[in-house]
Amino acid sequence: MNRAYPISVDDPAADCPVAIEVLGRLMGAEAETLPSLLEGIPEATRARLAVYLYGRSHTHELGIRIAATCERRALQGAPGLIGDALHDLSRKPYAPTSFGTRSVSSKGISLGGSHQVGART
């Protein structure tokens, strides 16, 4: 039995400038095969796609890689002010983000609270 599930008004795929099938192929592509998959997509669409992907944490890197295939002019024409920044970022060596990493402190963590020695309550 097939069921139809309603899509909310806030469906993120509705804003995607390419078909969801194309997006799926791009997301699953290796870095080496990405340029060949992007060949048939017009530069203005690639620029909008780069901005779309860059704005989501799980596709951030892919957005930068796609932006690297666009000229500054095309990225500047993409919605928002992100175009110039995305162009500059895509021309730098990629440095992956470090979500959830933190430096290790030599000071231990105490769950006992802070209390002064000799203090009376």
Chain segment 86-118, per-residue pLDDT in tens = 888 888 876 665 655 555 555 666 677 666 666
8 A C-beta contact, residue 50 and residue 70 = yes
Residue 43 contacts residue 51 (beta carbons within 8 Å): no
Dig out the tokens for 73 from the structure: 């002019």
Domain chopping of the chain, boundaries: 12-90
CA distance 94 to 51: 17
pLDDT digits (tens, 9 = 90+) for 4-20: 545 445 566 668 999 99
- The pTM for the full model equals 0.65
Give the model confidence (pLDDT) of 43-61 as tens digits. Answer: 999 999 999 998 888 898 9
Alpha carbon dihedral 5, 10, 16, 18, in 10-degree steps, equals 20
